[in-house]
Amino acid sequence: MPDSRDLIIGVDAGTSVIKAVAFDLRGRQLASASVRNAYHTGADGSATQSLSRTWTDCATALRGLGEKVEGLADRTAALALTGQGDGTWLVGAGNDPVCDAWLWLDARAAPTVTKLAAGDKSRARFEATGTGLNTCQQGSQIAHMQAHYPELLKRAEAAMHCKDWLYLNLTGIRATDPSEASFTFGNFRTRDYDDTVLEALGLTGRRHLLPPILDGSRETHPMTRAAAGATGLLEGTPVTLGYVDMVMTALGAGVHTGDAGAACSTIGSTGVHMRAVPADKVHLNATGTGYVICLPVPGLVTQVQTNMAATLNIDWVLALASDLLAEIGEAPNHADLVARIDGWMARSTPGALLYHPYISEAGERGPFVNANARASLIGLTAHHRFSDIIRAVIEGLGMATRHCYEAMGPMPSELRLTGGAARSPALRQVLAAALNTSVRVSQRNEAGAAGCAMMAAVAIGAYADMDACIGDWTTPLLGEAEPPDPALVPIYENVFKSYRTACGALAPVWEDLASHRTWQGTDQ
């Protein structure tokens, strides 16, 4: 590899933004460029995205990066890809799109999920994949297409994911990675497709749609001449197919650094909670929820539980304040209100109220699945003020995080945090006490792009293995450990007991409210 090739590009094609990020070979971020993503939603629950535009936007982001980094094409040692997970990106003859992609947000497969979940092979499917069945997944969506849109599958030659589609455009190779292949159609222990899973989904006859599985930390393919022309990079540049974005973000933020029991949570619009464990030590819960996603480390996987809404709850309660102040002529922006959160927390009493953070209209998916679950605030009296409600909402995020980790086994020995909300000392204090463990914040910007770039660094031989790469790219960027406040730990222990009890007791209420909404003819 020529000495002039001193950069790796990581591309993270998310639901909101497609980012192209340049790193040097030791993990220092140098520059980034992005393009806003575009998708469409329909009244039928559809959420779709144009394959052609996604490729165009990716190429635009890469050309934008070239405008910021002098000599980018000549300096690029490799390019790596990750992207939004789940969903179905169908490709037909000539590698042309069959239709717009069905995204992970698409809800049309819900009745098919209900039917499949009641099948006699449902548990066997879960024990192979380690992943609960939901409308996000390609398996559910293809099963629904088979029943209701068979013409799409008739024209399809391959079922891909977002990053797989971009890899196809960059290299001409149809492939997917071990992470999405195993949690959708396979077995996390073998990292291969599984006949039992296909049978449980009723898709044995569709196996020809599944592309070959490629581990991008071991194998790359050269960029085609057409892709080079579109992106401004050089023909023949090695391209790595990364794993799904959740695990790439966790890898970049510190889910695995060789410390037994460490875990990683991303506190963003949604909450993603992950712990790295050996494949033979996975804890499969009785309710059949969560994900098991392979890491690009031999024998190691991540267990995952995801809250449908995390900081969306904070956005909601701050919007209440903003709307009220606007009525009397004030107009605070969101950032001004966020800056006041730590002060409000300091003026409130821990554990005084109980909040369930199920603010999403889609309900909850982790550690239980209930589309009718709704947020609630319990314990109000006349003396409570806005600061108490803010604290209850943030404590609710701590309880939800603990609830997710409880479903995956023992509490983490240390929690690594990423996401914008991790900058709040008050939130970190709540999370540390709720889990009774120290927290550390990753200083890594663009952790998803970094995670797939790390795979490329190993693939091209810049590092002997992923653990060596982690030693340079991840561990040095972890902040100081912040221990839990011993005064808060017993308070939150009791709050969590009430949180869990109330969650179970409220389930019939959620169902009644859903029936009422349906009776009134309103959207759920």
**Are the CB atoms for 375 and 353 separated by under 8 Å?**
no
- d(CA 352, CA 35) in angstroms, rounded, equals 44
Q: How far apart are the first and last CA of the chain?
A: 56
Measure CA 82 to chain center: 11
Position 293 scores a pLDDT of 92
Domain shared by 367 and 513, yes or no: yes
pLDDT-derived band of residue 432, with 50, 70 and 90 as boundaries? very high
Domain shared by 343 and 490, yes or no: yes
Residue 369 lies in a domain: yes
Domain shared by 260 and 209, yes or no: no
Q: Is 259 exposed, middle or buried (0-12, 13-18, 19+ CB in 10 A)?
A: middle
Residue 118 lies in a domain: yes
Position 524 scores a pLDDT of 38
Q: pLDDT higher for 173 or 105?
A: 173
Residue 362 has pLDDT above 80, yes or no: no
- d(CA 77, CA 5) in angstroms, rounded, equals 5
Which residue from 171, 196, 168, 192 is spatially nearest to 180, judged by alpha carbons? 192
Domain shared by 200 and 264, yes or no: no
Q: Out of 50-54, 104-108, 298-302, which region has the weakest mean confidence (pLDDT)? A: 104-108
Percent of the chain past pLDDT 70, that is, above it, reads: 98
Which residue from 123, 136, 185, 82 is spatially nearest to 366, judged by alpha carbons? 136
Residue 449 lies in a domain: no
Residue 426 lies in a domain: yes
What is the overall mean pLDDT for the chain?
91
Position 226 scores a pLDDT of 97
Q: Is residue 46 within a helix (H) or strand (E), and if so which, with residue range? A: none
For residue range 277-330, what is the model confidence (pLDDT) as tens digits? 899 888 888 888 888 999 999 999 999 998 888 888 888 888 888 888 878 877
For residue range 207-224, what is the model confidence (pLDDT) as tens digits? 999 999 999 999 999 999
Which residue from 125, 135, 133, 118 is spatially nearest to 204, judged by alpha carbons? 125
Mean of pLDDT values over 392-417 = 92
Domain shared by 393 and 260, yes or no: yes
Domain shared by 190 and 261, yes or no: no
Residue 53 lies in a domain: no
Sign of CA dihedral 463, 465, 466, 467: negative
Domain shared by 270 and 365, yes or no: yes
Position 220 scores a pLDDT of 97
pLDDT-derived band of residue 1, with 50, 70 and 90 as boundaries? very low
Q: Out of 364-373, 380-389, 422-431, which region has the weakest mean confidence (pLDDT)? A: 364-373
For residue range 246-257, what is the model confidence (pLDDT) as tens digits? 899 989 988 888
Position 69 scores a pLDDT of 95
Domain count, the chain: 2
Position 3 scores a pLDDT of 63
Domain shared by 209 and 260, yes or no: no
Residue 513: CB atoms within 10 Å: 14
Position 363 scores a pLDDT of 80
Q: Out of 86-90, 283-287, 454-458, 485-489, which region has the weakest mean confidence (pLDDT)? A: 283-287
Position 473 scores a pLDDT of 95
Residue 523 has pLDDT above 70, yes or no: no
Q: Is 382 exposed, middle or buried (0-12, 13-18, 19+ CB in 10 A)?
A: exposed
- Residue the block writes with tokens 């839990």: 484
Residue 447 lies in a domain: no
Position 379 scores a pLDDT of 95
Tokens of 134: 């939901």
Position 72 scores a pLDDT of 97
Range(s) of the domain holding residue 139: 87-160+178-213
- d(CA 511, CA 373) in angstroms, rounded, equals 8
**Are the CB atoms for 163 and 81 separated by under 8 Å?**
yes
Residue 444 has pLDDT above 90, yes or no: no
Residues 6+ away with beta carbon under 8 Å from 277 = 283, 300, 301, 302, 303, 409
**Are the CB atoms for 313 and 233 separated by under 8 Å?**
no
Position 63 scores a pLDDT of 97
Domain shared by 264 and 209, yes or no: no
Mean of pLDDT values over 119-127 = 92
Domain shared by 194 and 291, yes or no: no
Domain shared by 398 and 298, yes or no: yes
Position 518 scores a pLDDT of 59
- Residue the block writes with tokens 């004030």: 330
Which residue from 316, 275, 282 is spatially nearest to 401, judged by alpha carbons? 275
Residue 78: CB atoms within 10 Å: 25
Which residues face 303 on adjacent strands?
275, 292
- CA 400 vs CA 104, 134, 310: distances in Å: 22, 20, 9
Mean of pLDDT values over 262-285 = 87
Residue 123 lies in a domain: yes
**Are the CB atoms for 479 and 278 separated by under 8 Å?**
no
Residue 27 lies in a domain: no
- d(CA 283, CA 294) in angstroms, rounded, equals 14
Mean of pLDDT values over 356-383 = 88
Residue 509 has pLDDT above 90, yes or no: yes
Q: pLDDT higher for 269 or 358?
A: 358
Which residue from 401, 469, 468 is spatially nearest to 430, judged by alpha carbons? 401
Q: pLDDT higher for 254 or 3?
A: 254
Residue 421 has pLDDT above 80, yes or no: no
Q: pLDDT higher for 232 or 15?
A: 232
**Helix, strand or coil for residue 480?**
coil
Mean of pLDDT values over 428-445 = 92
- d(CA 285, CA 407) in angstroms, rounded, equals 6
**Are the CB atoms for 273 and 404 separated by under 8 Å?**
yes
CATH of the domain at 285: 3.30.420.40
Domain shared by 194 and 287, yes or no: no
